[in-house]
Structures are given as structure tokens and as C-alpha cells.
Amino acid sequence: MTPHIDEKVEPIFQEVLNRNPGETEFHQAVREVLESLGPVLVKHPEFGHHKIIERICEPERQIIFRVPWQDDEGNVQINRGFRVEFNSALGPYKGGLRFHPSVYLGIVKFLGFEQIFKNALTGLPIGGGKGGSDFDPKGKSDDEIMRFCQSFMTELYRHLGEYTDVPAGDIGVGGREIGYMFGQYKRITNRYESGILTGKGLDWGGSLVRTEATGYGATFFVQEMLKARGDSFDGKICTVSGSGNVAIYTIEKIHQLGGKVVACSDSGGYIYDEQGIDLELLQQLKEIERRRIKDYLNYRKHAKYVESGNIWNIPCQVAMPSATQNELNGKDAAKLVKNGCFAVGEGANMPTTPEGIRVFLEAGIAYGPGKAANAGGVATSALEMQQNASRDSWTFEYTEQRLEQIMKTIHRLCYENAEEYGTPGNYVNGANIAGFIKVANAMVAMGLV
Ligand code: NDP
């Protein structure tokens, strides 16, 4: 059935549009959740009475600040910083920081809103939040990155705390940036509080598997969807967009599970390697040398690079969008389905447009939305918080087992809720409903706060 907003919920959505003009990505994320909630209000009239949907759509707190810094030529630069503390019914605000020139309030709010339900699905005690800046790390020197991160943290630090708000990485924020921010926090506060950031280095409070977690987790989620249809990754041809943190570890796990990834991309274009992407080479280029993906050709002559090409034109059985929002539209989805794709797992947040989602749902393929499929990253961040709180560090094997178990549980929750609410196999409804009910119950219990 084509998704639509129930008539009881429609006025709430209109109010969100009126109160948040121009924030198109936020509208899209809210709409997608609200489309699932009509039947929930029928079963749970108390959520209507307590105005839970209206309250959940309004962030608890939004912080916007100036970030001044100096570039290597001595010029003063000004960026804008954001932290949206969306919902703390289940725990301290938790969600990454994104540094990308496209960042504005609408992007941070869409990400923060999705984060509420994603974090609820993990079953761990974490609320939802998100932040970032319109700073572009591309082409900047390490010194410039450090000066920017220090200035950003000089404002943000006062809002953080192990029991208050615990950011992590996202696009443009990896181990290097987390390091500079943690250093500045420690200097300003004179406190070694490991629990205020996750994604830390392994020598100073980080968790094994955190780097791999989002990609590994998304792949485990797809594995569960395939299993539910009596299938597996074995021998499957796969495409993975992006070539950042999420994409790289998605490729690694797919290869470990017997699939073959033939293409990946960056914002310049995509690489097609029919022998399978050489992961070691990709990591050298992207993680260590921070180069463009087209340089892959210098080392693998048989591969092809298509500048500004559309990776979704490549025939595959499993597609894992792992770059950014709205990177896969209705036409792309139709092309994928026509070419034989029968499973899509979103490593990125909201990478498929509403038209694309409609195509996947109508085709009846296994479609795992980001808020369920990529929850392994934040789940492992919560495991990092547990290790910090107990001043312990777990082995890689144990942490990965925990991650795999969490992804299996999330899959089961989505699967069962989709069935219970009359849309079997629809993981979008399953994820939205399961996540929402958990947060809504906590909000009702805590009264009007
Ligand atoms: P990275 O910065 O490590 O990598 C991002 C990748 O996506 C790069 O290859 C980048 O190419 C590409 N990309 C980014 N923006 C665009 C754009 N506008 N158009 C085309 N390509 C683009 O980020 P992550 O791998 O951490 O994040 C990828 C996605 O996964 C995001 O949607 C993020 O929100 C989501 N996610 C990340 C989690 C994490 O733990 N890191 C957790 C859950 C979700 P280029 O270098 O050319 O810009």
C-alpha cells in the first residue's frame, strides 16, 4: 500500500511545516515517520491524549553558535555550529557531528529526529541528538582542522556531559576530529571525562569495533533480511555508494560474508571493478592518504571510473547506499529493481527519496531503512560509553558479537512490528512503530516535561 499520513496525524504534520519553514529534509524525515503512526494512535489513544507526536517533533533544545578560526594564511574564517538536543526520554542525547558545507538547521534536525527512533531501536539507554557545522574539511591542512575543532569545542563543551549529551562522528568527522575536540574539552574543563564523546582512539578510551560498527551493522541487518527470505550474501553481486567510514566497513563485511562488491563512489564519481573492490587499496587511498576515488585506477588498470556517474545504474542483487541523504531517487530505485536487485540496506541516513522508497515497497523487495539498518554505529557508541563508565575495555570478538546480537534484535523488532500492524515485510513501518512506541511510553511515564 502506498504510504500516506492518516487523517488524525495530518494536522500535526501541517503544524510541523508551518513552524519549521524551509527545512525540507526535516519535513521529509518527519513525514516518513508520521506515515507509519495512524494505526499506533488507534491502539494507543493515550499517545494522542498526551500529545506525544507533537512533543516529539519539537526539539527539547537547539543551540546555534559562531565558530571563528584562522586558516594557514592567517585569514579569519567564520562558520556556524549546531547542536540539536532532540529527545532525552531514554537517555542522554546521543548522535554524531557532521562537518560538510551543506549543513544547516534543516539537515541537523532531520538527522536528530531520525536518531531518536534509531537509538530507541538499539534497546540501549540513549536519547537522540545531532550536530555539526557548515565547515568543509576537504582540502584543509591538519592544523586548520585542529584550529577549527578547538574553536567548535570551545562553545560546545558547556552543553556536553556523560549524563547530558554525548556526540560522535558523522560525515567529515572521524578519529582525527574527535581527537582534537576531546583534547580541547579536557584542556578547558581540566577533567578527563571519557564519557563525553564516542569514536575516541583506542589508546584513550575508544572501543574496538566502533570504527567498523556502522558498516558491519548494516551488513548484519541485510544478512537478517536475506535470512528471513531463505537467502544469504553468498555469491551476491553488491554495490555500495560512498567510500567513507560506513562504505569501507560495509564492503569489508560483505566480502567476509561471501558477497562481492563491484562498485563504490565518492562525490566525484564511481569506480567499477568487476573482480571485486580491492579493500586494502581503497583504505590506503581514502583512510590514510585522503585522496579521491578516481586514483584507484592508477593501481587497478582493469577497473573503470565514471566521472559524475550514477552508481545505481550498475546491475546488482544487493545495494547499500552509504554516502548521504537523497542520493537514490525513484528512477534509480526502478532501475535497481529492473536490474534484479532484491535487497537494499541503508548505511547512510535517509539516502532514498520518498519516491524511491515507494518503488522498493511496491516491488516487495527487502528494504532496510537507515534508522534500523545503520543503528549499529550508535549502538557501539553506547557500548563505548558502557566501557568508559566501568573503566574497562572489551575484546574485538566480544564487542562484535554484541553488535551482531543487537542488529539481530533490531531486525526482529522491525519484522514483528510490521506484522503486528498489518504490513508484513515493511521494515519502514516496523522501525518507525517499534522506535516510536518505546520513546512514547517513556514520555508518558515521565509526565509533561
Ligand atoms: P564519511 O565522511 O566518512 O564518508 C562520506 C562518503 O560519502 C564520502 O565518500 C563522500 O564523498 C560521500 N558523500 C558525502 N556527501 C556527499 C554528497 N553530498 N554527494 C555525494 N557523495 C557524498 O561519512 P560516513 O561514512 O561516516 O557517513 C556516511 C553516511 O552514513 C551519512 O549519511 C551518515 O549520516 C551515515 N551514518 C554514519 C554513521 C557513522 O558511524 N559514521 C552512523 C550512522 C549513519 P566525498 O569525500 O567526495 O565528499
pLDDT at 366: 98
The finding on whether 246 has its CB within 6 A of some atom of ligand 1 is yes
Q: In what order do the strands lie in the sheet with 269-272?
A: 304-307, 269-272, 260-266, 237-240, 318-320, 343-345, 366-368
189 and 245 housed in the same domain: no
pLDDT at 423: 97
**266, 291, 295: which to mutate for ligand 1, most atoms within 8 A of CB?**
266
The finding on whether 345 has its CB within 6 A of some atom of ligand 1 is no
The finding on whether 441 has its CB within 6 A of some atom of ligand 1 is no
Work out the average pLDDT over 230-243. 98
Beta strands in 201-360 (DSSP E): 237-240, 260-266, 269-272, 304-307, 318-320, 343-345
Ligand 1 centroid to residue 100 C-alpha, Å: 10
The finding on whether 347 has its CB within 6 A of some atom of ligand 1 is yes
* pLDDT at residue 404 greater than cutoff 80: yes
Ligand 1 centroid to residue 98 C-alpha, Å: 9
115 and 180 housed in the same domain: yes
- 325-363 pLDDT, tens digit each: 999 999 999 999 999 999 999 999 999 999 999 999 999
300 and 360 housed in the same domain: yes
Q: Of 193, 227, 253, which marks where a domain is finished?
A: 193
pLDDT at 4: 87
Query: Is 242 within 8 Å of 172 (Cβ atoms)?
Result: no
**99, 100, 171: which to mutate for ligand 1, most atoms within 8 A of CB?**
171
**Nearest 5 degrees, angle CA 366-CA 356-CA 331?**
120
User: 407 in a domain, yes or no?
Assistant: no
Q: Tell the residue nearest (CA) to atom 41 of ligand 1.
A: 170
- 189-211 pLDDT, tens digit each: 999 999 999 999 999 999 999 99
Ligand 1 centroid to residue 291 C-alpha, Å: 15
* pLDDT at residue 268 greater than cutoff 80: yes
User: 418 in a domain, yes or no?
Assistant: no
279 and 299 housed in the same domain: yes
324 and 355 housed in the same domain: yes
User: Considering the chain, what percentage of its residues have pLDDT values greater than 90?
Assistant: 99
Q: Tell the residue nearest (CA) to atom 48 of ligand 1.
A: 267
Ligand 1 centroid to residue 321 C-alpha, Å: 10
The finding on whether 214 has its CB within 6 A of some atom of ligand 1 is yes
Q: How far apart are alpha carbons 410 and 435 in whole angstroms?
A: 10
Q: Of 165, 193, 221, which marks where a domain is finished?
A: 193
Q: Which domain holds residue 434?
A: 1-58+426-449
pTM of the model: 0.97
Nearest residue to 193 (alpha-carbon basis) of 148, 163, 155, 152: 163
The finding on whether 169 has its CB within 6 A of some atom of ligand 1 is yes
Q: In what order do the strands lie in the sheet with 76-87?
A: 61-70, 76-87, 127-133, 93-99, 165-168
Ligand 1 centroid to residue 348 C-alpha, Å: 7
The single residue of 109, 118, 130, 253 carrying the catalytic annotation is 130
The backbone torsions φ and ψ at residue 179, rounded to the nearest 5 degrees and listed phi first, read -60, -50
The pLDDT-based confidence of 215 (bands split at 50, 70, 90) is very high
254 and 338 housed in the same domain: yes
49 and 86 housed in the same domain: no
**Overall domain count for the chain:** 3
CATH number at residue 351: 3.40.50.720
66 and 54 housed in the same domain: no
Query: Is 136 within 8 Å of 123 (Cβ atoms)?
Result: no
Nearest residue to 441 (alpha-carbon basis) of 169, 172, 120, 178: 120
CATH number at residue 11: 1.10.285.10
Packing angle of the helix pair 24-34, 354-363 (nearest 10 deg): 30
The pLDDT-based confidence of 3 (bands split at 50, 70, 90) is confident
- 60-118 pLDDT, tens digit each: 999 999 999 999 999 999 999 999 999 999 999 999 999 999 999 999 999 999 999 99
pLDDT at 47: 98
- 6-35 pLDDT, tens digit each: 999 999 999 999 999 999 999 999 999 999
User: 133 in a domain, yes or no?
Assistant: yes
Q: Tell the residue nearest (CA) to atom 15 of ligand 1.
A: 324
Supply the mean pLDDT for the chain. 97
The pLDDT-based confidence of 1 (bands split at 50, 70, 90) is low
pLDDT at 334: 98
Ligand 1 centroid to residue 266 C-alpha, Å: 9
Beta strands in 32-151 (DSSP E): 61-70, 76-87, 93-99, 127-133
CATH number at residue 174: 3.40.50.10860
Work out the average pLDDT over 235-253. 98
Question: Which ligand 1 atom lies nearest to the CA of residue 370?
Answer: 44
50 and 86 housed in the same domain: no
34 and 172 housed in the same domain: no
Q: How far apart are alpha carbons 445 and 410 in whole angstroms?
A: 23
- 109-163 pLDDT, tens digit each: 999 999 999 999 999 999 999 999 999 999 999 999 999 999 999 999 999 999 9
**98, 245, 277, 410: which to mutate for ligand 1, most atoms within 8 A of CB?**
245
164 and 258 housed in the same domain: no
The finding on whether 97 has its CB within 6 A of some atom of ligand 1 is no
282 and 345 housed in the same domain: yes
pLDDT at 2: 65
Q: Of 310, 330, 364, which marks where a domain is finished?
A: 364
**134, 136, 170: which to mutate for ligand 1, most atoms within 8 A of CB?**
170
User: Considering the chain, what percentage of its residues have pLDDT values greater than 70?
Assistant: 100
The finding on whether 250 has its CB within 6 A of some atom of ligand 1 is no
User: 206 in a domain, yes or no?
Assistant: no
Active site residue 186: no
